Amino acid sequence: MIDFRSDTVTKPTPEMREAMARAEVGDDVYGDDPTVNSLEAYAADRLGFEAALLTASGTQANLLAIMSHCGRGDEYLCGQAAHNYRYEGGGAAVLGSVQPQPIENEPDGSINLDKARAAIKADDFHFAMTRLLSLENTIGGKVLSLDYQRQARAFCDEHGLQLHLDGARVFNAAVACHCDITEITRHYHSVSVCLSKGLGAPVGSLLLGSEDVIQRARRLRKMVGGGMRQAGILAAAGKIALGQGPRRLQEDHDNAQSLTAGLAEIRQLEVDPASTQTNIVYARCRVGQATDLRDHLAEQGILITAGNPLRFVTHRDVNRQDVDRLLTAIRQFYQAKQAS
């Protein structure tokens, strides 16, 4: 099957499997797993932070970040479309008693900082205390500009807020900006990075921040059941993903551009080529039939997520020939519909 549903579907490479099989391990809850320790030290140095923490998932990393920056009854500002607001089970509110204050995202994925300023609560016991601004990069495949992120940090410094980045695909953003990852991460007090999306590891995300933030997060990770024992088996694959994965992300972006161009030629679909900035492509069905299209493609050995818009995600396990095969199958679907 060719799978365009998400970049989370990538399989570990033979090199990762070999590294996992021979990984030196220990009890990570005791801090004794050398492979985990090596990954965390490497990640902190690579992304420009004092410390890092291996977590089970991006959801867990974001939860730990929010709970590390905010206490019970505090508030964080985020985008209405933010993953840690819409798609993470309400964990910050349910488990951290931290109130989200969503703000509508701008078309480019950013949060208008004037609207964010207006959302900051007064220091009054009637209100939750606003402690944190959380951004996401990339968000829906769109890349926040370096200048905007600089402005966001200045905004947070002005108002005494912490700044967190849900950077599940932050390396995609760096590739799109033609910059080193630290040109992005230097603006934030904490950053989460997913190892199991475009970077290709089978499991895991990292949370990065100061020593104090990571110490709080480590304690909270135990509280929510995230303490892992011989986790070096996972960390071994994660270190390969972090070291090698970013080098090939441009290929995913190029394949997404090729897919976008092909979809734009299919009159039954509505595509904005400018909206494809990284590895995520959106297309709207002008005549509906998204579910029928998904079912037709599945019969051809191609998996997509039905919706309006349709979303296609390119990744390591999808090549240019797979993109061409997808486009051919979509054209055949609409030709058959037209003939009938």
Q: Does residue 232 belong to any structural domain of this protein? A: yes
Do the domain assignments include residue 3? no
Residue 150 has pLDDT above 90, yes or no: yes
**Domain-located, residue 192:** yes
Q: Which pair of tokens denotes residue 150?
A: 């600089």
Do 237 and 269 fall within a single domain?
A: no
- Give yes or no: residues 15 and 163 share one domain: yes
User: What pLDDT, on a 0 to 100 scale, did the predictor assign at position 199?
Assistant: 97
pLDDT of residue 307: 87
| Confidence (pTM) | 0.96
d(CA 135, CA 191): 10
Same-domain status, 216 and 276 = no
Q: What is the DSSP letter of 274?
A: G
Residue finishing a domain among 244, 270, 288:
244
Task: Summarize the confidence of residues 158-175 as an average pLDDT.
Answer: 98
Q: Rounded mean pLDDT of 90-104?
A: 97
Boundary-marking domain end, from 198, 228, 244: 244
Output b/e per residue, 151-163; b: 16+ Cβ within 10 A. Answer: ebbebbeeeebbb
Q: Tell me what pLDDT residue 51 has.
A: 98
> What's residue 308's pLDDT?
86
In a domain, 6, yes or no: no
Q: What is the CATH number of the domain that holds 303?
A: 3.90.1150.10
Which structural domain, as residue segments, surrounds residue 184?
A: 11-244
Of 186, 220, 244, which one is at a domain's C-terminal end? 244
| Residue 51 is assigned to a structural domain of this protein | yes
Whether residue 111 sits in one domain with residue 230: yes
Whether the per-residue pLDDT at 340 is higher than 80: the answer is no
Considering the domain boundaries, does residue 199 fall inside one?
Answer: yes
Residue appearing with tokens 């974001």: 62
Is the pLDDT reported for residue 187 higher than 90? yes
Question: Would the pLDDT of 29 be above 90?
Answer: yes
Whether 21 and 39 share a structural domain? yes
Q: Which of 280, 37, 41, 11 minimizes the C-alpha distance to 168?
A: 280
Q: What is the mean pLDDT of the chain?
A: 97
One domain for residues 187 and 211: yes
Q: Based on the structure, what is the number of domains in the chain?
A: 2
Token code pair at residue 62: 């974001």
Q: Is residue 310 one of the residues assigned to a domain? A: yes
Q: Tell me the backbone φ, ψ of residue 276, rounded to 5 degrees.
A: -90, 105
Domain shared by 258 and 229, yes or no: no
246-298 pLDDT tens trace: 999 999 999 999 999 999 999 999 999 999 999 999 999 988 889 999 999 99
Q: What is the per-residue pLDDT for 158?
A: 98
**Chain centre to alpha carbon of residue 177:** 16
Give the ranges where the chain is alpha helix by DSSP (H).
Answer: 14-21, 34-47, 58-69, 83-86, 91-96, 113-119, 146-159, 170-177, 182-185, 211-223, 232-244, 249-264, 290-299, 320-339
Please give the pLDDT value at position 261.
Answer: 98
% of the chain at pLDDT higher than 90: 96
**Do 163 and 121 share a structural domain?**
yes
Same domain, 113 and 253: no
Write out pLDDT tens, residues 194-212: 999 999 999 999 999 999 9
CATH of the domain at 192: 3.40.640.10
Same domain, 304 and 286: yes
Same domain, yes or no, for 255 and 198? no
Say if 2 falls within a structural domain: no
Same domain, 188 and 230: yes
pLDDT in tens, 307-318: 889 999 999 999
